Amino acid sequence: MRTALVTGSGRGIGWAITERLLRDGYGVVAAEVSRRGLEVLQERATARSDERLLPARVDVTSRAEIEAAVQAAVDRWGRLDVLVNNAGRNRAADSLTTTDEDWDWILDTNLKAVFFCSQIAAAQMKAQGGGAIVNISSTSAGGLDGNPAYSASKAGVIGLTRAMAVELGPSLIRVNAVAPGTTLSEWVRKNSTPDSLTAAANRNPLRRNGEPEDVANSVAFLASEDAQHVTGQLISVSGGGWMP
């Protein structure tokens, strides 16, 4: 059985990815830091009879907690085949109002932690003969609808993806990224107005905003053996709103 670790899996895009990988037959360590997210994951795990969903409290800025999550996959299933770096955060600010605290708060989770998680998971993948890492970037990496710290973090994820793809390729570890556009997660619906969502939809050629499942489908492909000759790539899941 193939196995995966998904960070930020308690809701929205993270849960859609987790649910899709479970449907594809993976065992999944569902990493989440919020208490409510963990409660929901535990309820879902209890409702299942196959023990393929393993909730874990993980603060991705803690190297020790990441190591424990990777070890949890190995302890239960003997290996870790896929890492999905989905956990992220944002805070409203612009170039003149972003504080040092804002910058560090966003970059620590959105970029530094992606490296930590990838580094730790890659060591396990190398030892077992290969694996796949999928990083969640954003169309904000292109300067679209993002504050400076968030845009910088998500652009950094793309550069990190390419650098690690080159370095880890000889160990048969593939590293790719997905860049969602406006995606109708619970957080986006709560923090957006109907008019802003309509405007966002009208900015892309397909004239609709994304659903979390749209992102999950691209992640599932990049994680799968169908993408065994794909690495260092960025897929924009934005209805054509951003064509990098």
In contact, 87 and 7? CB cutoff 8 Å: yes
Structure tokens at 54: 């393993």
pLDDT at 177: 98
Structure tokens at 77: 């299933």
Q: Which among 150, 157, 175, 215 is annotated as catalytic?
A: 150
Task: For residue 153, give the amino acid letter.
Answer: S
Decide yes or no: CATH 3.20.20.300 for domain 3-237.
Answer: no
pLDDT at 186: 86
pLDDT at 222: 98
DSSP assignment of 46-70, as one string? HH-SS--EEEEE--TT-HHHHHHHH
Classify residue 26 by its DSSP letter.
-
Q: Which parts of the chain register pLDDT below 50?
A: none
pLDDT at 41: 96
pLDDT digits (tens, 9 = 90+) for 89-102: 999 899 999 999 99
pLDDT at 162: 98
**How far is Cα 81 from Cα 129, in angstroms, rounded to an integer?**
10
pLDDT at 92: 87
How do the domains of the chain map onto residue ranges? 3-237
Active site residue 150: yes
**How far is Cα 112 from Cα 26, in angstroms, rounded to an integer?**
27
